[in-house]
A and B are shown apart, each in its own frame.
Chain A
Amino acid sequence: MSDNSSKWVLRASNLARRYGSGCPYCTTLTGPDHDTNQCQVCGTVIACSGISFDLGEAETLGIVGESGSGKSTVMQLVNLSNPADTGELWYRSLGTSNAEPINLLALDKFARRVFRNQQLGIVHQRPELGLNMNFTVGGNVAEKLLMAGWRNVGQIRQRASELMQLTELPPSRLDDDPHTFSGGMLQRVQISKALSSNPAVLLLDEVTTGLDLSVQARVLDLIKRLQWELRIAMLVVSHDLGVIKQLASRTVVLKNGQMVEHGLTDQILEDPQHPYTQLLVSSTL
């Protein structure tokens, strides 16, 4: 059976994260039906709960929702930078045949950090979260390589130049200060850095938010090109259905920390089922 559904790279199952002590009423009093993710009894904020999805090989999955819907929390959980309270996050290497899936949340800190460095690449909305603005552009791109044990400056610079070319940045600016770069260029630097370790999954957190429309378009075009050329699995978080439409083949809709709908992106756009999704679709410009 060559069902594509078995070819996942990353599988989230019932991920949840809460901030607060929690009480027996939390689950019944929060969520989209109550239009809040704060429990009225104990005050606990359920950032997200019951998050389950598969990310296939070379596939792009969109996560859409309004501010406070838990999008970024989900991204942090997947990026292993924020520990999930419950649930599992499975990863399966597609390079080697019959590789056993591993539960990333069960890894110790060392293994988790190595995994994050080698197999995950993240691009943040704000470049200063993903880059060290005191280092040169080349130094930022080199960070993951150095962490992976590269110890040859010449080779590191060679690789950084190639990555800059890949992301349409002039390699001549390798040794420049990030402060001298525009917002769109900084996103490209972040993408270069994220891709430097040839990760299995690229995480994009609101990458085009806050950029000019024309710059947004060029960054999106770059990401689309990378989808084709690198055939890398991507997880795209955005509040903008337009971005999701252009990048993702499947989409998950979040509201108040819970998944209200998931499906093929064209189906979400043309036949939204949940009232919130209908509102979201009708709100696109």
Chain B
Amino acid sequence: MQKTVSAAPPLLEVRGLQKYFQLHLLANRRAEPPPTNTNPTGTPLSDTPPTATVPTINPIKDVSFTARSRNVLLIRGRSGAGKTTILKCIYRTYLTSGGEIWYDSLNLGRIDLSSASEAAILQLREHELGYCSQFLKVLPRVPALDVVAEPLVRCGMKATEARAEAALWLARLGLEESRWQAYPITFSGGEQQRLNLARAFIASPRLLLLDEPTASLDPHSKSIVLEMISEAKARGVGIIVVSHDTQALESLADEIFWLADS
């Protein structure tokens, strides 16, 4: 590991992260825990299903890594290894089943994202965390420009100023001005992806979580995105990237974390 890297303060420490999903509903049937009550003869009641433990998927077992400010951490691994799950656990879209995620917050001090209060997470999402998901999930009937401007408005910026700022980002990402007032649902995959990126970068978070940022982009857009990532890094942002596109991102990465198959 390089000296400069270790000198940077740890922004995020993931320790022994675990995540499993309990599927209570499988094939339209509700899975029940084994019945404890039995009839006098000692045999189980006939109407309870014979197999009765809740099926569980366990993509992540004991993952630990550290991300730092002014640093790009690239997470690699096979499809289905749980790369996105890690990002969602950090962003609290998923609840963590075990382990700790310590984040060094500007406002709230050192805080465990896996157990922090919902209000604290909301505050962090507004001011410190940026997340670019693999697929754009936005509310219907909101024009593209407003989708991008929204994080700024959430921080308290005036709508007109926020829209002006959003216009700059959309222009930079090469989205035609004629489409800015259109609804993102009418956009192509690549266009949606660019919108998603603009939304993540605009509020200049301290920690950026990027899920396949370069997927479905043409080479030109891809180079702009890489430029944006390196700019953010220069500003001191800590970045965690999940990507298959190692070729493009390896050059930017300060650290690479290999996620072993579970």
B25 near A279: Cβ-Cβ < 8 Å? yes
Q: Does A152 contact B (CB under 8 A)?
A: no
Residues of chain B within 8 A of A28, CB atoms compared: none
- Chain A, interface size category, equals 20 to 34
Residues of chain A within 8 A of B22, CB atoms compared: 273
How many of chain B's residues have a CB under 8 angstroms from any CB in A? 26
Q: Which residue of B is nearest A218, CB measured?
A: B141
- Known interface pairs A4-B120, A7-B119. Does A267 touch B95 (Cβ–Cβ under 8 Å)? yes
The total of Cβ contacts below 8 Å across the A-B interface reads: 68
- Known interface pairs A2-B107, A221-B141, A278-B24. Does A271 touch B94 (Cβ–Cβ under 8 Å)? yes
Complex formed: what's the CA distance from A56 to B122 in Å? Answer: 10
B120 near A250: Cβ-Cβ < 8 Å? no
Complex formed: what's the CA distance from A282 to B27 in Å? Answer: 11
B122 near A273: Cβ-Cβ < 8 Å? no
Residue interface bits A242-285, CB-to-B below 8 A is 1, else 0: 00001001100000000000111011001101110011001000
Complex formed: what's the CA distance from A267 to B141 in Å? Answer: 23
Residues of chain A within 8 A of B117, CB atoms compared: 3, 5
Complex formed: what's the CA distance from A20 to B120 in Å? Answer: 40
B118 near A263: Cβ-Cβ < 8 Å? yes
Q: Does A228 contact B (CB under 8 A)?
A: yes
Residue interface bits A51-81, CB-to-B below 8 A is 1, else 0: 0001010010000000000000000000000
Q: Does A146 contact B (CB under 8 A)?
A: no
B24 near A263: Cβ-Cβ < 8 Å? no
Most chain B C-beta atoms within 10 Å of own C-beta, residue among A5, A7, A250: A5
Q: Which residue of A is nearest B127, CB measured?
A: A4
Q: Does B61 contact A (CB under 8 A)?
A: no
Residue interface bits B128-163, CB-to-A below 8 A is 1, else 0: 000000000001110000000000010000010000
Residues of chain A within 8 A of B30, CB atoms compared: 275, 279
Residues of chain A within 8 A of B120, CB atoms compared: 3-5
- Residues of B1-27 at the interface with A, using a CB-CB cut-off of 8 Å, are 21-25
Residues of chain B within 8 A of A267, CB atoms compared: 92-95
Q: Does A114 contact B (CB under 8 A)?
A: no
Closest-CB distance, B3 to chain A (whole angstroms)? 35
Pick the contact of A264: B109, B118, B140 (CB < 8 A). B118
- Residues of B35-94 at the interface with A, using a CB-CB cut-off of 8 Å, are 88, 92-94
Pick the contact of B118: A217, A250, A274 (CB < 8 A). A250
- Known interface pairs A228-B159, A250-B118, A266-B93. Does A4 touch B139 (Cβ–Cβ under 8 Å)? no
Complex formed: what's the CA distance from A59 to B117 in Å? Answer: 15
Complex formed: what's the CA distance from A4 to B30 in Å? Answer: 38
Q: Which residue of B is nearest A262, CB measured?
A: B118
Q: Which residue of A is nearest B89, CB measured?
A: A271
- Known interface pairs A278-B25, A282-B25. Does A271 touch B119 (Cβ–Cβ under 8 Å)? no
Q: Which residue of A is nearest B137, CB measured?
A: A266
Closest-CB distance, B120 to chain A (whole angstroms)? 6
Most chain A C-beta atoms within 10 Å of own C-beta, residue among B21, B119, B121: B119
Q: Which residue of B is nearest A277, CB measured?
A: B24
Residues of chain B within 8 A of A54, CB atoms compared: 119
A275 near B93: Cβ-Cβ < 8 Å? no
Closest-CB distance, A175 to chain B (whole angstroms)? 32
Given A3-B108, A246-B139, A246-B140, 20 extra CB contacts under 8 A: A3-B119, A4-B120, A5-B119, A7-B119, A54-B119, A217-B140, A217-B141, A224-B139, A250-B118, A250-B122, A262-B118, A264-B93, A264-B122, A267-B93, A271-B94, A274-B24, A275-B25, A278-B23, A279-B24, A279-B25
Closest 3 CB pairs of A and B: A275-B24, A4-B123, A5-B119
